[in-house]
Amino acid sequence: MKKSIVLGITGSIAAYKAAELTSMLVKKGYEVYVIMTQAATKFVTPLTLQTLSQHPVYVEMFDSPQSWEIGHISLAQRADVVLVAPATANFIAKLAAGLADDLLSATLLATRAPVIIAPAMNVGMYENPIFQKSMQFLKEQGYFFVEPDEGRLACGTTGKGRLAELDKIVSALEEIFSAKHELSGKHVLVTAGPTREPIDPVRFLSNYSSGKMGYAIAQEARERGARVTLVSGPCHLEPPAGVDLIPVETAQEMFDAVIKHFDTADVVIKAAAVADFRPRQRAAEKIKKDEAVMTLELERTPDILQHLGDNKRDQVLVGFAAETENIVENARAKLKRKNLDLLVANDLTEEGAGFGVDTNVATLFFPDGTTVKLPKMTKRELARAIIDQVIKLLTTKKRMV
Ligand code: C5P
């Protein structure tokens, strides 16, 4: 059966590109139902879209019954995906506020289908914190955004705000169709990267973690439909699309950010390499090299995972262990001590495992004593294997409730 796309078009100069987009989607074999806002009809005519989509175009909420073939609720229900391209700042603000004062906004409020938004606007509007806040809020609610491109804008200025390339919008759509959305409706909290523990204003203690494992997990969880919060220490990676990134530096900041989101999380995956110790005191001024030997007094950082394990309700809790010796004993002890549902243990002595590299060699440990030894694989593949297990664990938990 053909997939149905409800394409919302709002009143931006980029609305003319929606005609090309409609044509591309129809050629790819999708059923496209177009809803336009009144303002959009000033830029491109419903007749153009009707001809290209081969379906009636909907504009008014209260059209006469002859043309009222599909009400907004049935359009909302019929959609496999709702795509709004271009989406104006005004439309996005309305959506964030939950308004439903025209057919398109009412459809969006009613639909349970995944929603993709491709904004297009002037750079000043795009950068305005009010707009950014609405977009951020919608991302947190699970809306997918295909962010605008940079370039010359219709208003004559240059900056971010041009409707993304149509190919990019179509890829985002196809990604949703190809992905299995087993985690849809779930909130997955992932931590990644190292932490930095300040010694003085210019120095810190840290480790070699690149963040690659945690970012791969965040991306996998997102692609499988979850709302993802990624709490990340400093690393040089692009955050995966659609993920809500919370940058942190210290173990304490990571602790605070994780605790803040723990209550709403269904799954927590702690891939971060949290520093275990921090300087007891952070010197206010840069420490001078007067002494031949210097002693730093260190204290323990909060063990975030231990805290989560001690306080978890029904969340699936996944921990990591990077070991160089006695892997099995250490892993089993850690799994129990931290009250985890799954522990992913890396043997750092194996080639292709651990920090910085793109591959990993891991063994999965479960509380019932079972283990799964995985071959060397890319971090992306390991992320997939971990998310597969998380989905199984979620289903078992649900059955037990
Ligand atoms: O006990 P160990 O540090 O080996 O445990 C590693 C696991 O615990 C990782 O999942 C890591 O993210 C987490 N951890 C933590 N807070 C710490 C230290 C480790 O959450 N302070």
Q: How confident is the model at residue 401, as a pLDDT? A: 38
Instruction: Look at residues 153, 178, 203 and tell me which one is the last residue of a structural domain.
Output: 178
Residue owning the nearest CA to atom 19 of ligand 1: 274
Cα separation, 35 vs 12, whole angstroms: 14
Task: DSSP for 332-370, please give it.
Answer: HHHHHHTT-SEEEEEETTSTT-SSSSSEE-EEEE-TTS-
Indicate whether 105 belongs to any domain. Answer: yes
Report the percentage of the chain scoring pLDDT > 90. 73
Quote the domain boundaries for residue 8: 4-178
Token duo for residue 92: 């996005």
Picking from 26-35, 63-72, 142-151, 261-270, which range would have the lowest pLDDT averaged per residue?
A: 63-72
Q: How confident is the model at residue 73, as a pLDDT? A: 67
Instruction: Assign 71 a pLDDT band (cuts: 50, 70, 90).
Output: low
Q: Is 87 in the pocket of ligand 1 (CB under 6 A)?
A: no
Catalytic residue among 39, 100, 155, 199: 155
Instruction: Assign 399 a pLDDT band (cuts: 50, 70, 90).
Output: very low
Element (H, E) at 172: helix 166-178
Question: Could you confirm whether 155 is annotated as catalytic?
Answer: yes
Domain CATH for 56 = 3.40.50.1950
Domain CATH for 320 = 3.40.50.10300
Q: Atom of ligand 1 at shortest distance to CA of 307?
A: 20
Q: Is 11 in the pocket of ligand 1 (CB under 6 A)?
A: no
Instruction: Look at residues 127, 155, 178 and tell me which one is the last residue of a structural domain.
Output: 178
- Mark whether 131 and 201 lie in a shared domain: no
Mean pLDDT in residue range 305-310: 97
- Write down the pTM of the prediction: 0.66
Token duo for residue 391: 């989905």
- Mark whether 197 and 150 lie in a shared domain: no
